[in-house]
Amino acid sequence: MSGTALITGITGQDGAYLAKLLLDKGYQVHGMMRRSSTETLERIADIRDEITIHQGDLLDQLSLVRLLEQIEPTEVYNLAAQSFVPTSWSQPILTAETTGLGVTRVLEAIRQVNPNIKMYQASSSEMFGKVQETPQTEATPFYPRSPYGVAKVYGYWITINYRESYNLFASNGILFNHESPLRGLEFVTRKITDGVARIKLGLQKELLLGNLDAKRDWGFAGDFVNAMWLMLQANEPGDFVVATGEQHSVREFCEIAFSTVGLNLDDHVGIDPRFYRPAEVETLLGNPAKAKTELGWEPQVTFEQLVTMMVEQDLKRVEREIKLGN
Q: CB of 144: closest distance to ligand F7E in angstroms?
A: 11
Least Cα distance to 192 among 163, 212, 177, 175 occurs for: 212
Q: Amino acid identity of 205? A: K
Count of Cβ atoms closer than 10 Å to residue 275 Cβ = 13
| Residue in 19, 107, 110, 122 binding ligand NAP, rule: CB under 6 A | 122
Q: Is 214 in the site for ligand F7E (CB under 6 A)?
A: yes
**Residue 90 falls in the annotated catalytic set:** no
| Inter-residue contact 257 to 216 (CB < 8 Å) | no
Distance CA 67, CA 148 (A): 26
User: How do 239-242 and 170-175 pair as beta strands?
Assistant: parallel
Size of the chain, expressed as the number of residues it contains: 326
| Residue in 11, 63, 83, 287 binding ligand F7E, rule: CB under 6 A | 83
From the list 63, 88, 124, 146, the catalytic residue is 124
Q: CB of 172: closest distance to ligand F7E in angstroms?
A: 12
Least Cα distance to 284 among 253, 256, 243 occurs for: 243
**CB nearer to ligand NAP: pick between 36 and 167:** 36
CA 191 to centroid of chain Cα atoms: 16
222-261 mask for ligand F7E (x: CB under 6 A)? Answer: ----------------------------x-----------
**CB nearer to ligand F7E: pick between 117 and 197:** 197
Q: Using CB under 6 A, count the residues that bind ligand NAP.
A: 26
Q: Is 34 in the site for ligand NAP (CB under 6 A)?
A: yes
| Residue in 74, 124, 172, 211 binding ligand NAP, rule: CB under 6 A | 124
Q: Amino acid identity of 277? A: R
Q: Helix (H, G, I), strand (E, B), or coil: what is residue 69?
A: helix
Sign of the C-alpha dihedral computed for residues 36, 42, 43 and 49 taken in this order: positive
| Residue in 36, 55, 264, 305 binding ligand NAP, rule: CB under 6 A | 36
**141 CB burial (10 A radius; 0-12, 13-18, 19+):** exposed
Q: Is 209 in the site for ligand F7E (CB under 6 A)?
A: yes
CB contact set of 112 (below 8 Å; sequence gap of 6+): 65
67-106 mask for ligand NAP (x: CB under 6 A)? Answer: ------------xxxxx--------------x--------
**Residue 75 falls in the annotated catalytic set:** no
Q: Helix (H, G, I), strand (E, B), or coil: what is residue 55?
A: strand
**Residue 126 falls in the annotated catalytic set:** yes
Q: CB of 72: closest distance to ligand F7E in angstroms?
A: 30
Which positions lie near ligand NAP, rule CB under 6 A?
8-9, 11-15, 33-34, 36, 40, 57-59, 79-83, 98, 122, 124, 175, 177-178, 184
- By CB under 6 A, name the binding residues for ligand F7E: 83, 85, 124-126, 176-177, 186-189, 191, 209-211, 214, 216, 250, 275, 277, 280-281
